[in-house]
């Protein structure tokens, strides 16, 4: 009976013989044309070359498929990114449109507010100008009609306007101000001086009893005297920056 080692040796020899035979076997590859006039071509290859060729072909196919998968994935990612960017662009465009509309509304409101402010400033300036003007003694010192004495225009060398008015006529302040002093008496006549707070003083001379007292605030409608019997003449003067000026000239300039 053959021992174990002999059997193993005999199997190894058989395997080697099969391998040697396969290496010696060659395969023919035929290229058959679709026309009878062309010759059939054949190539002789060993088995290991065919296997190597098949492996290479399989590798190329797998590599191509992998490349296609990668390219497809990249294209999908690119498409997704494009869609995302398009969505963002649409959103930004809509926001820009909304902001543009809001900006136009704000500009319109600013224009309205600016007009309102300008109108308010203009009215405030006009009001301030009116207030300033109300303290300039440009008014007529009598409430009612009176005649003017053209022959006597000075008193002690200073300009004065002398008016003749009927009994009961009111002598009024010619602008807003404050009674700074009251001098004189019923015999010599009273002198009321009003400080207008801007360098102007107005002076009123009459023998009737004064209706105001020192320190009183007056307006252009405040009654200073009421012309009484025997005191129908009113002397009116204006002091500007410590100098007497023609009161009629101030009336003509501002009146």
Query: How do residues 51-104 score in pLDDT, each as one tens digit?
Result: 788 888 888 999 999 999 999 999 999 999 999 999 999 999 999 999 999 999
Number of domains in the chain: 2
Is residue 26 over pLDDT 70? no
- Using 50, 70 and 90 to split pLDDT, how confident is the model at 128? very high
The dihedral sign for the CA sequence 59, 60, 63, 64:
negative
In sequence order, which residues have a C-beta less than 8 Å from that of residue 191 and are 6 or more positions away? 181, 182, 183, 184, 203, 204, 205
Among 160, 158, 156, which Cα is nearest to 148's? 160
Give the tokens for residue 153: 């225009």
Is residue 240 over pLDDT 60? yes
Partners of 240 in the beta sheet? 200, 243
Domain's final residue, options 69, 101, 116: 69
Q: Is 27 inside a domain boundary?
A: yes
More confident residue, 44 or 147: 147
Is residue 37 over pLDDT 70? no
Do 150 and 46 share a structural domain?
A: no
More confident residue, 233 or 252: 233
Look at residue 102 in the predicted model and tell me its pLDDT. Answer: 93
Instruction: Report the Cα 71 to chain-centroid distance in Å.
Output: 53
Q: What is the CATH number of the domain that holds 210?
A: 2.70.70.10
Q: What is the mean pLDDT of the chain?
A: 87
Q: Is 23 inside a domain boundary?
A: yes
Look at residue 172 in the predicted model and tell me its pLDDT. Answer: 97
Q: For 182-239, how does the pLDDT look when each residue is reduced to its tens digit (9 = 90+)?
A: 999 988 899 999 999 999 999 999 999 999 999 999 999 899 999 999 999 999 999 9
Q: What average pLDDT does the segment 23-45 reach?
A: 63
How many angstroms separate the CA atoms of 184 and 205, rounded? 9
Distances (CA, A) of 157 to 1, 160, 242, 252: 176, 9, 15, 22
Give the β-pairing of 200-206 and 233-240: antiparallel
In sequence order, which residues have a C-beta less than 8 Å from that of residue 177 and are 6 or more positions away? 135, 137, 194, 195, 196, 197, 200, 202, 217, 218
Look at residue 255 in the predicted model and tell me its pLDDT. Answer: 44
How many angstroms separate the CA atoms of 162 and 171, rounded? 13
Is residue 29 over pLDDT 50? yes
Distances (CA, A) of 163 to 55, 81, 153, 167, 191: 136, 98, 11, 13, 15
Domain's final residue, options 69, 92, 115: 69
Q: What average pLDDT does the segment 110-122 reach?
A: 92
Q: Is 136 inside a domain boundary?
A: no
Look at residue 144 in the predicted model and tell me its pLDDT. Answer: 86
Domain's final residue, options 69, 87, 118: 69
Q: Is 96 inside a domain boundary?
A: no
Q: Is 236 inside a domain boundary?
A: yes
Q: Is 129 inside a domain boundary?
A: no
Range of the domain at 192: 142-254
Q: Is 101 inside a domain boundary?
A: no
Whole-structure pTM over 0.75, yes or no? no
Beta strands in 32-83 (DSSP E): 41-46
Q: For 241-251, how does the pLDDT look when each residue is reduced to its tens digit (9 = 90+)?
A: 999 999 999 88
Look at residue 155 in the predicted model and tell me its pLDDT. Answer: 93
Q: What average pLDDT does the segment 114-126 reach?
A: 92
93 burial class (0-12, 13-18, 19+ CB within 10 angstroms)? exposed
**Residue given tokens 């399989």 in the structure block:** 58
How many angstroms separate the CA atoms of 208 and 193, rounded? 15
**Residue given tokens 């129908």 in the structure block:** 232
Is residue 106 over pLDDT 70? yes
Among 231, 158, 161, 237, which Cα is nearest to 194's? 237
Look at residue 42 in the predicted model and tell me its pLDDT. Answer: 63
Tell me which H or E stretch contains 193.
strand 189-195
Q: Is 46 inside a domain boundary?
A: yes
């Amino acid at each position: 009976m053959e021992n174990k080692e002999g059997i193993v040796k005999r199997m190894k020899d058989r395997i080697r013989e099969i391998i040697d035979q396969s290496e010696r076997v060659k395969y023919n590859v035929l290229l058959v044309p679709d026309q009878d006039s062309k010759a059939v071509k054949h190539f002789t290859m060993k088995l290991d070359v065919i296997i190597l060729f098949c492996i290479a072909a399989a590798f190329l196919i797998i590599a191509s498929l992998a490349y296609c998968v990668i390219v497809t994935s990249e294209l999908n990612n690119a498409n997704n990114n494009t869609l995302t960017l398009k969505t963002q662009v649409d959103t930004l465009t809509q926001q820009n449109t909304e902001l543009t509309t809001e900006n136009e509304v704000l500009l319109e409101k600013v224009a309205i507010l600016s007009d309102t402010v300008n109108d308010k400033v203009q009215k405030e300036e006009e009001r301030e100008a009116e207030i300033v003007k109300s303290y300039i003694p440009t008014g007529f010192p009598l409430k009612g009609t009176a005649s003017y004495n053209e022959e006597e225009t000075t008193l002690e060398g200073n300009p004065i306007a002398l008016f003749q008015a009927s009994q009961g006529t009111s002598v009024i302040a010619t602008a807003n101000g404050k009674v700074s002093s009251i001098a004189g008496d019923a015999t010599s006549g009273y002198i009321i001086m009003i400080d207008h707070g801007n360098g102007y003083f107005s002076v009123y001379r009459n023998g009737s009893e004064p209706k105001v007292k020192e320190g009183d605030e007056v307006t252009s409608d405040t009654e200073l005297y009421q012309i009484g019997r025997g005191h129908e003449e009113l002397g009116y003067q204006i002091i500007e920056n410590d100098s007497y000026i023609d009161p009629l000239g101030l009336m003509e300039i501002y009146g």
